[in-house]
Amino acid sequence: MSANHITPPLQGPWVDIDLGNLCENFSLIRSAASDSEVAAVVKCNAYGLGLAKIAQTLADRAKCKTFFVVYPEEGAALRNALGHREARIFCFAGQTDQTLALFDQAKLIPVLNTLEQAQHWADHCSGREASIHVETGMNRIGADFSDLAKIASLKNLNVKMVMTHLACASDPDHPLNSAQREKFIAAATHFPDTTLSLGASAGALMGREYQFDLVRAGIALYGGAPFDEDDTRIKPVASLRAPIVQLRNIAPGDAVGYGATYIAKKPSVIATVAAGYGDGYPRNGSPVGNVSINGERAPIAGRISMDFITIDVSDLKKRPELGDSVEFFGSAVRIHEAAQTTNRVSYDLLTGLGGRVDRRYL
């Protein structure tokens, strides 16, 4: 057997982030929900792609005015990144005693999830804007339906938005969607003349009946389909790539990787790529995953390790060279396909991108 080695230094994985496609996905949702305001969900470091650059781009190029994060620490970082730009920033987790000062300093708006949290905000931030998240059937977080009348009657509570979250929007035909919608409409009667928000990415694309006044665009912005099936209207935003750092000829019967799970059946060429599960590509991507190299597909060969992935490039029409870029998901391998192949979802492929993956903005 023989191997070729790339000349140092060793280059690691990176993700190309197409800001143009990000804005086109925002425009897609805006067109689909033309009577609604489109807000951007930029929680978890903008789904792993970089809070500051993503939010700045959406504010400047897509003219987005409303953003959602989970924690006030995220909200403060977002406010700092947006600088002079006018924006409303909502925090899904609401406030505590410890974070009240941060809400004030960064001009954040809480999403209140319980009667107690609503009372707390009314007591300490009299008259300041707030939103209410209503539990309608997901049983995860949100104010109980039985508490809404009490919340609505609180003095000095200034509720400007009522929202909920669909549990089964990935399947538009699921009966829980319509059941939650009806319960949401009933809940909203406690808060007349407020903005109503039901749909996230999936709800925004499911039709007018799920859109209401404001839709909260999340995964669809970043190139992932919010449905169980792929939606090719959504353009890829993130392309996870890494270079080939070694090419090796092996003989029939030779094993590849940990556990010798891959045995060559014929003379083969194995490409070693500088990426692994430490960078966010799932370990169970072997033996079912495949990648794109110079426009051709090639299968993963052997177990995925923390830092390296081995690819069988024997059948490619053009033999790859050291340093060639390998795409794990992006424009050639859509993220929905990569997620299904690895028994994951696009959400955690994006948010799982490792810290050493270089974010490159196009």
Pairwise CA distance, residues 112 & 94, whole Å: 5
Q: Amino acid identity, residue 178?
A: S
Pairwise CA distance, residues 128 & 110, whole Å: 10
Active site residues: 43, 258
Both tokens of residue 304? Answer: 């995925």
140 is in an annotated binding site: yes
- Phi, then psi, of 209 in degrees rounded to 5: -65, -15
Q: Which of 361, 262, 259 is nearest to 311 (CA)?
A: 262
306 is in an annotated binding site: yes
Q: Amino acid identity, residue 142?
A: G
Chain CA centroid to CA 319, Å: 34
CA dist 322 → 3, 149, 248, 328 (Å) = 11, 66, 11, 17
CA dist 287 → 260, 279, 284, 320 (Å) = 12, 18, 7, 21
In DSSP terms, 242 is beta-bridged to: 326
Residues of each annotated binding site: 140, 306
Residues of each annotated binding site for substrate: 140, 306
